[in-house]
């Protein structure tokens, strides 16, 4: 191994990205997903009446219609076909969200909650007959409690603002992802976002101690508790985390904060194979708290080097795999561990960031995913598989894609240590075939892997709705429907998302 040049590390970003042209809903894959229950026919007059009542309750400033609705609210980052909603609601408080939902429920009016619209599953995309409810005016940090190590925030606060407020208090809010400057904490919770630090801190679900949620009928569930231990009855809070706006609208949250890590190191490691990557990860975890282990297959890294032409490559040569690692440890000790791993044949080459700028440069390689929408026609996958089978699955997947489309271009990468494999296929390389054909190929292969999931962190939304039965049993889907029916009997909340 090259004596790893010493350098230091910084924060990061992630992304698996990219607008999905034309928003292809996959075929109704399995009867267990249930028939698409069409909602009772509504006319434009029903919608007009609902919007009028909403305007009376929220005022002219709280309800925008027609051209006044900014185009950005017509779709989200998934690139799903845009639609201008019947109205954009801009409540200023939980009480106004409650009033708005009570009116919508009374009128049977569909409501689509929108946070920062950075979601990749089309969960925040409206239909023309829906109203969109934006959380952007609920944007206050209400309290930081150092003794409890918690922060109480309104749902529309940006993730980056939460991170900064925690840092100013000498603490860490551990959720982090590439969209941090645009996504809202309410959206993160509604999507149960994963991101870069799941390995050490868990997904959004693990960062939430308390929630306030407005139900479809306007009733407000306030459980803004700061307790680590609390076993009083069902944990309602967790029902709403990851429910993608289909069970209630999150208005406030109590977030768990962490001590800041003492000595963060960022490393880029070249590896001979997938199994070596997993063995290295486990070796590092035995000695250090590892917060990120981003694995990139050669196709991904070749693309990163190509797009960043002009910048000096951090490692010479081309290697089968690369891992971008972030861990808490002293540089000398980490270099020693890497040398031992090299002796054991697990590491081919490595570089340790010696400055914040170096660390950012390493992360920039992983962050090329943010450029996918402009440089590719991305068809994105966000798969979850037991860690040990990810390598073999990726090879099977690549081989099947090559058999079907010999010229196809695909990039494999992922958080891996937390079981998350991302795959992006360039839609321009599949000879004009519909994107749904790629979905079918990948999800059929995934179905053969026991315990795998079609969504690790991006959720189901619209884009993956019809594939849900590939990883959830008929009984599980039926239970989901019963919960939905119990909490939203008129099916007004985010209609058509998650469940058909
Ligand atoms: C560059 C980039 C990198 C990304 N990296 C990651 C990553 O590493 N890991 C990851 O998990 N995701 C990632 N994402 C996806 C996305 O950022 C996350 O899903 C994020 O949590 C969405 O937050 P948002 O505020 O934008 O929500 P939106 O996109 O607005 O909404 C997401 C869903 O939640 C619902 N919703 C929004 N707010 C509320 C609310 N207050 N109450 C109820 N429902 C609500 C919406 O209806 C929708 O169904 C990335 C996206 C981009 C663009």
Q: Would residue 474 count as lying in a domain?
A: no
Q: Would residue 60 count as lying in a domain?
A: yes
Q: Are residues 109 and 207 both part of a single domain?
A: no
pLDDT of 33: 37
What sections of 295-449 are H helices per DSSP?
298-307, 331-343, 356-366, 372-375, 390-404, 435-447
Identify which of 77, 80, 181, 193 to mutate to test ligand 1's pocket (most ligand atoms within 8 A of the CB): 193
Q: Would residue 225 count as lying in a domain?
A: yes
- Contact of 177 with 160, CB cutoff 8 Å: no
* 23-51 mean pLDDT: 59
Say how many residues make up the chain.
500
Q: Which helix (H) or strand (E) holds 481?
A: helix 474-487
Query: Which atom of ligand 1 is nearest the CA belonging to 367?
Result: 1
Say whether pLDDT at 9 is over 60: no
Query: Which atom of ligand 1 is nearest the CA belonging to 135?
Result: 41
Q: Are residues 159 and 234 both part of a single domain?
A: yes
pLDDT of 18: 33
Ligand 1 midpoint to CA 364 (Å):
21
Determine the distance from the C-alpha atom of residue 237 to the mean position of all C-alpha atoms in its chain, rounded to a whole number.
Answer: 19
Cβ within 8 Å of residue 401, ≥6 positions away: 408, 410, 425, 438, 441
Q: Is 292 in the pocket of ligand 1 (CB under 6 A)?
A: no
Q: What are the tokens at 117?
A: 């619209």
Ligand 1 midpoint to CA 482 (Å):
25
Residue 92 pLDDT level (bands cut at 50, 70, 90): very high
Q: Would residue 81 count as lying in a domain?
A: yes
Say whether pLDDT at 39 is over 80: no
Distinct helix (H) and strand (E) counts, the chain:
14, 18
Ligand 1 midpoint to CA 266 (Å):
26
Q: Is 464 in the pocket of ligand 1 (CB under 6 A)?
A: no
Q: Is 17 in the pocket of ligand 1 (CB under 6 A)?
A: yes
Q: Are residues 146 and 122 both part of a single domain?
A: no
Identify which of 78, 179, 202, 206 to mutate to test ligand 1's pocket (most ligand atoms within 8 A of the CB): 179
Q: Are residues 150 and 101 both part of a single domain?
A: no
Q: Are residues 149 and 100 both part of a single domain?
A: no
Ligand 1 midpoint to CA 43 (Å):
31
Cβ within 8 Å of residue 30, ≥6 positions away: 469, 470
Q: Would residue 491 count as lying in a domain?
A: no
Q: Is 461 in the pocket of ligand 1 (CB under 6 A)?
A: yes
Q: 254: which strand partners?
A: 152, 210
Residue that terminates a domain, selected from 212, 237, 259: 259
Q: Are residues 59 and 147 both part of a single domain?
A: no
Nearest alpha carbon, ligand 1 atom 36: 187
Residue 415 pLDDT level (bands cut at 50, 70, 90): confident
Q: 90: which strand partners?
A: none
Q: Are residues 205 and 170 both part of a single domain?
A: yes
* 223-246 mean pLDDT: 96
Determine the distance from the C-alpha atom of residue 93 to the mean position of all C-alpha atoms in its chain, rounded to a whole number.
Answer: 26
Give the count of domains, the chain: 2
User: In this predicted structure, which of 15-19, 140-144, 195-199 has the lowest mean pLDDT?
Assistant: 15-19
Ligand 1 midpoint to CA 191 (Å):
6
Give the model confidence (pLDDT) of 331-345 as tens digits: 999 999 999 999 999
The owner of tokens 């791993």 is 341
Say whether pLDDT at 144 is over 80: yes
Q: Is 217 exposed, middle or buried (0-12, 13-18, 19+ CB in 10 A)?
A: middle
Can you spell out the DSSP letters for 108-127? T--EEEESSS--SSSTTPPP
Ligand 1 midpoint to CA 78 (Å):
10
| Arithmetic mean of pLDDT over the chain | 91
Q: Which helix (H) or strand (E) holds 278?
A: helix 274-287
Ligand 1 midpoint to CA 475 (Å):
28
Q: What are the tokens at 8?
A: 């230091």
Q: Is 116 in the pocket of ligand 1 (CB under 6 A)?
A: yes
Query: Which atom of ligand 1 is nearest the CA belonging to 456?
Result: 11
| CATH code of the domain covering residue 49 | 3.30.43.10
Residues spanned by the domain of 45: 38-134
Residue that terminates a domain, selected from 134, 164, 193: 134
Q: Are residues 216 and 244 both part of a single domain?
A: yes
Q: Is 457 in the pocket of ligand 1 (CB under 6 A)?
A: yes
Q: What pTM was estimated for this model as a whole?
A: 0.91
Residue that terminates a domain, selected from 134, 162, 179: 134
Q: Would residue 224 count as lying in a domain?
A: yes
pLDDT of 5: 35
- Contact of 493 with 97, CB cutoff 8 Å: no
Q: Are residues 152 and 254 both part of a single domain?
A: yes
Ligand 1 midpoint to CA 60 (Å):
28
Identify which of 79, 118, 120 to mutate to test ligand 1's pocket (most ligand atoms within 8 A of the CB): 118
Nearest alpha carbon, ligand 1 atom 37: 187
Cα–Cα distance, 194 to 84 (Å, whole number): 30
* 450-474 mean pLDDT: 96
Q: Would residue 416 count as lying in a domain?
A: no
Query: Which atom of ligand 1 is nearest the CA belonging to 184?
Result: 25
Q: Are residues 189 and 89 both part of a single domain?
A: no
Q: Are residues 49 and 87 both part of a single domain?
A: yes
| CATH code of the domain covering residue 184 | 3.30.465.10
pLDDT of 370: 87
Q: Are residues 145 and 129 both part of a single domain?
A: no
Q: Would residue 253 count as lying in a domain?
A: yes
Q: Is 190 in the pocket of ligand 1 (CB under 6 A)?
A: yes
Query: Which atom of ligand 1 is nearest the CA belonging to 193?
Result: 11
Say whether pLDDT at 154 is over 50: yes
Query: Which atom of ligand 1 is nearest the CA belonging to 240?
Result: 43
Say whether pLDDT at 27 is over 50: no
* 111-121 mean pLDDT: 97
User: How many other CB atoms are found less than 10 A from the CB of residue 378?
Assistant: 26
Query: Which atom of ligand 1 is nearest the CA belonging to 188?
Result: 21
pLDDT of 22: 33
């Amino acid at each position: 191994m090259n004596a790893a040049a010493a350098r230091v590390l910084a924060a990061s970003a992630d992304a698996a990205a990219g607008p999905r042209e034309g928003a292809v809903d996959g075929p109704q894959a399995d009867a267990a997903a249930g028939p698409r229950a069409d909602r009772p026919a509504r006319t434009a007059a029903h919608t007009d009446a609902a919007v009028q009542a909403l305007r009376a309750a929220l005022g002219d400033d709280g309800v925008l219609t027609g051209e006044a609705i900014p185009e950005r609210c017509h779709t989200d980052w998934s690139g799903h076909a845009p639609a201008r909603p019947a109205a954009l609601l801009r409540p200023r408080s939980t009480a106004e969200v409650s009033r708005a939902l009570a009116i919508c429920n009374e009128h049977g009016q569909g409501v689509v909650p929108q946070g920062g619209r950075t979601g990749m599953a089309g969960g925040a995309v409206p239909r023309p007959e829906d109203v969109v409810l934006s959380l952007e005016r609920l944007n206050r940090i209400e309290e930081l409690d150092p003794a409890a190590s918690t922060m109480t925030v309104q749902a529309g606060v940006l993730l980056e603002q939460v991170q900064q407020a925690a840092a100013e208090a000498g603490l860490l809010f551990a959720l982090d992802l590439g969209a941090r400057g645009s996504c809202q904490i309410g959206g993160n919770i509604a999507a149960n976002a994963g991101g870069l630090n799941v390995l050490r801190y868990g997904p959004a679900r693990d960062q939430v101690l308390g929630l306030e949620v407005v139900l479809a009928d306007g009733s407000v569930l306030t459980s803004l508790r700061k307790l680590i231990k609390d076993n009083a009855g069902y944990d309602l809070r967790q029902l709403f985390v990851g429910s993608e706006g289909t069970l209630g609208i999150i208005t406030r949250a109590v977030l768990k904060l962490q001590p800041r890590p003492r000595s963060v190191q960022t490393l880029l490691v070249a590896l001979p194979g997938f199994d070596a990557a997993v063995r290295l990860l486990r070796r590092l975890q035995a000695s250090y708290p590892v917060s990120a282990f981003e694995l990139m297959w050669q196709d991904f890294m070749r693309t990163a080097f190509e797009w960043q032409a002009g910048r000096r490559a951090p490692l010479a040569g081309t290697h089968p795999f690369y891992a971008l690692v972030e861990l808490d440890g002293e540089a000398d000790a980490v270099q020693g561990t890497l040398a031992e791993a090299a002796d054991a044949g697990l590491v081919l080459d490595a570089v340790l960031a010696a400055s914040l700028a170096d660390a950012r440069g390493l992360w920039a390689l992983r962050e090329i995913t943010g450029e996918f929408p402009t440089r590719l026609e991305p068809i994105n996958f966000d798969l979850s598989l037991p860690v040990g089978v990810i390598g073999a699955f990726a090879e099977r997947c690549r081989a099947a894609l090559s058999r079907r489309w010999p010229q196809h271009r695909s990039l494999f990468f992922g958080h891996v240590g937390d079981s998350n494999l991302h795959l992006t296929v360039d839609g321009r390389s599949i000879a004009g075939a519909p994107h749904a054909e790629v979905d079918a190929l990948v999800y059929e292969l995934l179905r053969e892997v026991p315990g795998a999931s079609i969504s690790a962190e991006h959720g189901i939304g619209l884009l993956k709705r019809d594939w849900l039965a590939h990883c959830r049993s008929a009984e599980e889907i039926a239970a989901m429907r019963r919960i939905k029916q119990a909490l939203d009997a008129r099916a007004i909340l985010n209609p058509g998302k998650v469940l058909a």
